[in-house]
Structure 1
């Protein structure tokens, strides 16, 4: 669907899907029976590593293995429910692999928070209209409206990130229209060798009622909660057919699995990098990928998934 059609679909379907999720109150993790009853496509997802909340499908994993050792660069297109832990996961990846992990700086029309720096944390625009004017000039890969604020991904940010030497580049981008927009930019406008894209979706591991009624309102401005909740509901229903990797985050101050989640995710992405690309130290290497046994294969029928949930 075109961007306008996607946004219209979210506007119309989002409230209905949110009500459905709240009434059923499933646990937001792919193996939950109540979630699979609502959205059967989640039944195709399996834990990539037991206990560390990285999920793939058989075909998704086969695609990753099929791309082994073919790319100089990886772009992780991290999407997910609002307040679902995207920043925490990216920051942990940067902490574990300094000098190997970079990010694409996004833009916002909200005011800077104390300590935030223009061009480092975000590109800050004076107001929503100023950001939308830049969008109209063709300066953005994608953008999204949340209440009275606008957020987006400037093309210059992508160009700056790809001009560097780090093999892992992480960007926050909306699944609905952002994933295809980034793909189009990297394959049609970007002048360098296209990187391997990973479509990664993050789910907070909690009940739907807890997320929509407590967690989201407690972590986002009141004026944005309605639009973010509708988008989140739409994303939950569409993620299992659009994502390549799903990460379920335990949302607590302790976050005991965050370190392993970040390490496992980088190990998975590292698989597609060419042999001569420098690797961060400490990442798991083949064949220890935690999915049974995956040698250097090229065919889906040869991939053996760990059948345990």
Structure 2
């Protein structure tokens, strides 16, 4: 891995950001994955400290007020998500290549404070596939799905803000493309 460059992965809900990050976590140990904090409840397969740090609203607000978050947002009008700043800066200082899996608002905040990072947008092959993935998860109520799909429309429209776009038509292929970009000293951006 080229050392010490931050990569930000964002994209719409249900596009598979978590699946791509999980593949990288399992197969590419040289990539340091940031673990976000969130106020939402864990899904059945999620482990605290591995997938997210699950905290209550008070703890989240304390972190935010103390300036301990690199970025944060209220996602889908419901839960708060954020990236602890300290571990990311420590990874960079050690020459690691951190990967942040975050939402659009978070990516914009990171771009404002760390414009040298590589910003990658993960997109679905098409809208129908995105809807199929969201419904297939079975983790949201009908109202939550509609809210997430409305957010996804806005997020998809922002794809041109990113340096690189990767279509997630296959998790392994998308993960390998992302790692290849992270390995490149000067990735071919704006494609």
- If the TM-score is normalised by the length of the shorter chain, which range does it land in? 0.7 to 0.9
How far did 1:209 drift?
4.5
Change (3 A) 1:160 1:111: farther
Q: Is the 8 A contact 1:106 1:123 kept in 2?
A: yes
TM-score by length of 2: 0.78
Tell me which of 247, 257, 269 is aligned to 2:166.
Answer: 247
Tell me which of 54, 62, 87 is aligned to 1:124.
Answer: 54
Q: Is the 8 A contact 2:167 2:174 kept in 1?
A: no
Q: Is the 8 A contact 1:106 1:153 kept in 2?
A: yes
Give the total of aligned pairs. Answer: 186
**Gap runs ≥5 in structure 2:** none
How far did 1:82 drift?
0.6
Structure 1, residues 105-143: CA drift from partner, whole Å, max 9, x if none? 1011123445744433322112x3542343233222222
For 1:123 and 1:174, how far apart are their aligned partners in 2? 16
Structure 1, residues 249-278: CA drift from partner, whole Å, max 9, x if none? 12xxxxxx43333223322332217xxxxx
Partner residue, 1:183: 111
Query: What CA RMSD, in Å, does the superposition of the two structures yield over aligned residues?
Result: 3.0
* Structure with larger Rg: 1
Q: Secondary structure at the match of 1:260?
A: helix
Partner residue, 1:104: 34
> Within 5 A, what are the aligned runs for 1:1-309?
72-98=3-29, 100-113=30-43, 116-126=46-56, 128-145=57-74, 146-166=76-96, 168-175=97-104, 177-186=105-114, 196-206=116-126, 208-209=127-128, 211-212=130-131, 214-219=132-137, 220-222=139-141, 224-240=144-160, 242-250=161-169, 257-272=170-185
TM-score by length of 1: 0.52
Structure 1, residues 46-78: CA drift from partner, whole Å, max 9, x if none? xxxxxxxxxxxxxxxxxxxxxxxxx73222200
Deviating beyond 6 angstroms after TM superposition, the runs of 4 or more aligned structure 1 residues are none
